[in-house]
Structure 1
Amino acid sequence: MGNLFGNGKKKSSMGNEKISFVLADRMRPRSLDEIIGQDDILGAGKPLRRMIESDDITSLILWGPPGSGKTTIAHIIAKMTGMDFLSHSAVLSSIGEIKKIFAQAERNLYLYGRRSILFIDEIHRFNKAQQDAFLPYVEKGTIILIGATTENPSFEVISPLLSRVQVFVLNPLEPKHIREIIIRALTDEERGLGRDKNHIEDDALELISNVSSGDARFALNIVELADKMAGEKKITVETITEILQRERILYDRTGEEHYNIISALHKSIRDSDPDGALYWLARMLEGGEDRRYILRRLIRMAIEDVGLADPNALLIAVAGQQAFDFIGYPEGDLALAEVAVYLAYAPKSNSIYTALHKALADVKKF
């Protein structure tokens, strides 16, 4: 899209990794130094890097947008610490399965002195009762819990669990980071596409970098498909445009893609990117997403991300919901578009969110 507005379950030994045929998996960073765009937490002397290098890992939650490196960091932690590593998705795993893992971790700890890392992808998908089950094992140190989430943990993770873990925020990858990742994949002859000797037009590289919305996995999937389509020719803008028109249109309203796309919409609004906001909104609308779900999320963004920087944002978001209820589908979709673009343009402030949580913390202390 042009510039419209101007501006599964796995168990891993970590030492014997299987070869993947998917480019995004093959190019997954193998060390902290290979990770791009997360210097705030993994740069020299930064807290998470110190924890990993000193082998002093505690339970933690990695909060960041899709494709920012949450799973990669968990794998590297397991590799560097040498702990048993168990990986599950909250989407695919029942709490019964997780409890079996707890029992196994207890046996490993008490019989063999081995500690276990339990990585839970999309931990926010577990409900309150399911999250409660983690508490005794995290508190006793039976497991090191690493949870990954695209959602704000303060809203989606229960307070007792949140108080027992450290939260690290991953930055959205910028277009320059995506470009670096793509170039690395196209030139790496061992794990990437370097043997194909394909080149990419600058405009095509720029297009992928911008439309990926910081999702390295998405960018590499597009590059891999473009490489196959290009054959021995250059990867062109036309090739990328053709892929974008037909890829990722399938939309699972109850699966991972549902959460990835709403997170991408949230990120675009938070980053004041109206083009991105409209693109991801259109993806949701085209996929048949519940309009009222989108409106509820937009109202939340108006409160959480815009806040007092523009109090009218909340009024606009609520008015958008009322307009949709009054007009209905399909004309009412314009109300959603207007709200999304308004929020993207609006100045941002999370002062209300921060102040409320500080006040709640004070109340709990006293």
Structure 2
Amino acid sequence: MGPLAERLRPKSLDEVLGQDHLVGPKGPLRRFLERGYLPSLVLFGPPGSGKTTLARLLAEGLGRPFRHLSAVEAGLKEVREAVAEARRAGGLVLFLDEIHRFNKAQQDALLPHLESGLLTLVGATTENPSFALTPPLRSRLRFFPVKPLLEEDLFALLQRALAHLPGVEAEEGALRLLAQAAQGDARRALNALELSALSGRVTEESAREALGALLPALDRGGDLFYDLVSALHKSIRASHVDAALYYLARLLLGGADPLYVARRLIRIAAEDVGLADPQALRLAVAAKAAYEALGSPEGELALVEAAVYLALAPKANSLYAAWKRAEEALKAHPSAPVPLHLRNAPTALQKALGHGAGYAYYHEDQEGSFAQAYLPEGLEDLTLFEATGEGFEERVRERLKALRARFRSARPRRGSG
């Protein structure tokens, strides 16, 4: 007897839950089967949403030979074997799970056989196919999103699954808990049900224990990981402390590298807090050092402290914006000459060429220092940094205003040195 999730696989499109946009009366996959035609396609969506099941049903519905390969293990050798089998059978539906893991050479090996129609490729991936697949392969495929299952769909699935667990009773509240906590993943819901049913009765307590034991690990290079990182960053930027803690927990408890999270917090401190609170960067760097010293789980509290501090801190992206303007200025003026009086003069030749001549040393001649030019000729009015009124930047803004006024008032004297 196989795992419960395997025993509950739908046997027809009518049994598929949550994908009416694909297999409902007007769904494209159902229409394909009704016409006896199947193009090469990719099903993309989260784990446990039914991509493998749909691929099998499509192949069975056409009555064509079906070969299942996992891109995690398969390579060019297995692709060649599938092509040979397709030639013997007069065609083949090749289901390639985790298709995003195929490299360029492996993807290119599929192209002539898709073009000729020898292979009908059904790929499945949890990743965004726009990033994971090469343009030549994408141009030969159609793409269909597979949605995470709704809580009600999972609840219905769990009720159906009880028929495969003879003698097991289940509290409705426990099934509701499993359906909610599975977050659209049917496999996770069924695995948790099977684990919690070992005692003969599924209760809310046993369901929580099963869910804890099945805490999913993140694919560190996958879309979900980067979506959670993005959500953490944007929640802190918006000063939403609770959302920041929630996404931080999903990352750390889901298996993300805590040092990666720490580096992202440092980036947030520099990009989104900046000079509105200069202490933020110090605290973020200190949190990373604290984690390196303590490790998990003790060191995670330092990351929690940094995330909460950053979320509560005043926000200013003036440094980030100024750096972007500086990059644009460099593109527009990549080699503007440095004023002679600012140039280095370590040799007699450079001194003879006027390097450093007339430079006014600030600590000895403040007026002369303000009067001399610092930007290249023609860029005297270039303005890159603008302080906001957030937090400490209010003081920065006043200081900046005074300094620029002083430079402007001294500008007529600039050529006198």
Counterpart AA for 2:43: L
Residues 71, 99 of structure 2: 8 Å contact kept: yes
Partner residue of 1:289 out of 254, 257, 278: 257
Counterpart AA for 1:165: L
Residues 117, 144 of structure 1: 8 Å contact kept: yes
> Where do residues 251-290 of structure 1 align in structure 2 (5 Å cutoff)?
258=219, 263=224, 266=227, 277-278=247-248, 280-284=250-254, 287=255, 289=257
Residues 213, 268 of structure 1: 8 Å contact kept: no
Residues 269, 277 of structure 1: 8 Å contact kept: no
1:107 Cα deviation after fit: 3.1
> Where do residues 13-52 of structure 1 align in structure 2 (5 Å cutoff)?
20-52=1-33
Partner residue of 1:126 out of 92, 102, 105: 102
Counterpart AA for 1:38: Q
Give distance in 1, aligned partners of 2:124 and 2:75: 17
TM-score, length of structure 1 as denominator length: 0.67
Alignment of 1:244 onto 2:211: yes
Alignment of 1:168 onto 2:150: no
Instruction: Provide the identity percentage.
Output: 38
Counterpart AA for 1:29: P
Give distance in 2, aligned partners of 1:200 and 1:33: 26
Residues 106, 142 of structure 1: 8 Å contact kept: yes
Counterpart AA for 2:45: G
Residues 69, 97 of structure 2: 8 Å contact kept: yes
Residues 126, 222 of structure 2: 8 Å contact kept: no
> Where do residues 57-72 of structure 1 align in structure 2 (5 Å cutoff)?
57-72=38-53
Q: Say which one has the larger Rg.
A: 2
Alignment of 1:103 onto 2:84: yes
Residues 262, 280 of structure 1: 8 Å contact kept: no
Three-state SS of the structure 1 residue aligned to 2:100 is: helix
1:106 Cα deviation after fit: 2.4
Mean Cα displacement is larger for which, 22-31 or 330-339? 330-339
Three-state SS of the structure 1 residue aligned to 2:67 is: strand
1:292 Cα deviation after fit: 2.7
Residues 213, 276 of structure 1: 8 Å contact kept: no
Give distance in 2, aligned partners of 1:265 and 1:206: 29
Who is 2:287 aligned against?
327
Counterpart AA for 1:242: E
Who is 1:158 aligned against?
134
TM-score, length of structure 2 as denominator length: 0.60
Q: Higher relative contact order by CA 8 Å / sep ≥ 6: 1 or 2? A: 1
Could you give the per-residue CA deviations for residues 33-85 of structure 1, whole angstroms, max 9, x where no partner exists?
Answer: 00000011111022121012221101000011000010000111111111110
Residues 287, 306 of structure 2: 8 Å contact kept: no
Partner residue of 1:177 out of 147, 153, 168: 153
Who is 1:202 aligned against?
172
Who is 2:182 aligned against?
212
Give distance in 2, aligned partners of 1:318 and 1:68: 41
1:30/1:277 CA distance change after superposition, 3 Å: farther
How many residues align structurally? 286
Residues 76, 106 of structure 2: 8 Å contact kept: yes
1:235/1:63 CA distance change after superposition, 3 Å: same
Instruction: Flag structure 2 segments of 5+ consecutive residues without an equivalent.
Output: 236-241, 292-298, 313-417
Residues 128, 223 of structure 2: 8 Å contact kept: no
1:316 Cα deviation after fit: 5.3
> Cα RMSD (Å) of the superposition?
3.8
Give distance in 1, aligned partners of 2:32 and 2:145: 15
Residues 178, 211 of structure 2: 8 Å contact kept: no
1:159 Cα deviation after fit: 1.2
Three-state SS of the structure 2 residue aligned to 1:87 is: strand
Partner residue of 2:196 out of 205, 226, 239: 226
Residues 295, 321 of structure 1: 8 Å contact kept: no
Could you give the per-residue CA deviations for residues 199-254 of structure 1, whole angstroms, max 9, x where no partner exists?
Answer: 3222211211111111000100111111122x2xx3111111222233347x5xxx
Mean Cα displacement is larger for which, 240-249 or 218-227? 240-249
Instruction: Flag structure 1 segments of 5+ consecutive residues without an equivalent.
Output: 1-19, 110-114, 252-256, 300-311, 343-366
Three-state SS of the structure 1 residue aligned to 2:122 is: strand
Mean Cα displacement is larger for which, 86-95 or 213-222? 86-95
